[in-house]
């Protein structure tokens, strides 16, 4: 089986301000804010939901490829993916645009000031789902709004099973659009906040949404996750992590585990634990694609975490 992962590819520029924002932002002058922060520490990471999921899927041994639109500055990221044995033949370059990028400044209190430039991501609808690439599983991850809608419909028309992961783009869709996504998807993955938002936006409770798909997966951070399928709820424990360094990208790592489990034919109890362990490995590393392991190392960690083999 081969997975096609529709979503963003982005650069994450992370800067650290060795002070506190509150000492430089005057509450009574917030209406005329004009501040500058010296950031001696800066790192550029490779990210984006599609890239993160594909990277983790490859690490664990799955076959998949990101599908995204990028800018003319994508070259260094493309070389990184090639070095990681992640395919880029479904990545479309948009002339005159930058690859999507986030600029994140963090202070000593872990407060953040973020800016996000979507760039080429907003052209994702121009990159159609291929019908001759042997795709057997599709992922709709956060991407350009129109692209998410179009790709969902294209997967459905092609009869390809879809995992719907709306993420931070969920608020951009209205009730009927979200109900359409649910109707065209076989599985849905959200965090606990997104589950509540999905309920409010669709007017349907979580149990009703779960009955409309094969499985609804809700992640709950350190409290683990729950998989609602076939009228039952399967509790998945959070895997123990070596350290809590950076939660960015943990959700994408978890979703890669879901895709791997589905492609491998594992039951939900095993699939959920694979996903949980991938998230735990990622959180111990800064950045979204800076962790590495072999198949043997992953199997050993799985046994240590859950007391049984995969």
Q: What CATH number corresponds to the domain at position 243?
A: 3.40.1190.20
Token pair listed for 129: 């789902």
Q: What's the rounded Cα separation, in Å, for the pair 263 and 257?
A: 10
Residue 288 within a domain: yes
Nearest Cα to 239, choosing from 192, 293, 276, 275? 276
- List, in sequence order, every residue forming a beta bridge with 106; answer none if it has no partner: 16, 112
Where do the DSSP E strands lie in 63-185? 64-70, 91-93, 100-106, 112-117, 137-140, 161-164
**Spans of the chain below 50 pLDDT:** none
Token pair for residue 125? 């609808």
Domains identified in the chain, total number: 1
Domain ranges, residue 119: 3-20+39-306
Q: Is residue 27 assigned to a domain?
A: no
Q: Please tell me the distance from the alpha carbon of residue 167 to that of residue 142, in angstroms, as a whole number.
A: 6
- Identify the three-state secondary structure at position 51: helix
- H-type alpha helices, the chain: 49-60, 75-83, 145-158, 175-184, 192-202, 206-211, 250-264, 268-283, 295-306
Give the pLDDT confidence score for residue 35 in this predicted structure: 85
The verdict on residue 283 lying in a domain is: yes
Q: Look at residue 62 and tell me if it is in a domain.
A: yes
Whether 34 maps to a domain, the answer reads no
- Contact status, residue 160 vs residue 137, Cβ threshold 8 Å: yes
In a domain, 217, yes or no: yes
Global pTM value: 0.94
**C-alpha triplet 130, 134, 140: angle, nearest 5°:** 55
What's the token pair of residue 19?
């002070």
Distance CA 185, CA 68 (A): 20
Residue 219 within any structural domain of the chain: yes
31 within domain boundaries: no
Q: Strands 3-6 and 137-140, how do they pair?
A: parallel
């Amino acid at each position: 089986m081969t997975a096609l992962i529709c979503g963003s590819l982005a650069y994450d520029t992370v800067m650290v301000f060795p002070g506190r924002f509150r000492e430089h932002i005057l509450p009574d002058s917030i209406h005329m804010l004009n501040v500058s922060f010296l950031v001696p520490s800066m790192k550029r990471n490779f990210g984006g939901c599609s890239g993160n999921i594909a990277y983790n899927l490859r690490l664990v041994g799955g076959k998949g490829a990101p599908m995204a639109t990028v800018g003319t500055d994508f070259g260094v990221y493309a070389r990184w993916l090639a070095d990681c044995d992640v395919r880029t033949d479904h990545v479309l370059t948009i002339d005159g645009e930058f690859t999507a990028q986030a600029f994140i400044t963090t202070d000593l209190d872990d407060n953040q000031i973020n800016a996000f430039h979507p760039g080429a991501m907003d052209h994702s609808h121009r990159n159609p789902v291929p019908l001759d690439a042997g795709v057997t599983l599709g992922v709709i991850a956060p991407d350009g709004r129109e692209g998410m809608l179009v790709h969902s419909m294209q997967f459905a028309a092609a009869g390809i099973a879809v995992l719907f992961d709306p993420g931070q783009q969920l608020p951009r869709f209205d009730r009927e659009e979200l109900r359409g996504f649910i109707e065209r998807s076989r599985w849905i993955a959200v965090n606990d906040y997104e589950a509540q938002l999905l309920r409010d936006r669709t007017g349907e409770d979580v149990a009703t949404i779960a009955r409309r798909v094969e499985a609804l997966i809700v992640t709950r951070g350190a409290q683990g996750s729950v998989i609602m399928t076939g009228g039952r709820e399967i509790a998945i424990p959070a895997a123990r992590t070596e350290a809590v360094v950076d939660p960015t990208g943990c959700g994408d790592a978890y979703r890669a585990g879901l895709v791997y489990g589905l492609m491998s034919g594992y039951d939900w109890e095993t699939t959920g634990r694979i996903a949980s362990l991938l998230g735990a490995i990622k959180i111990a590393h800064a950045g979204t694609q800076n962790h590495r392991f072999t198949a043997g190392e992953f199997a050993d960690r799985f046994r240590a975490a859950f007391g049984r083999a995969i």
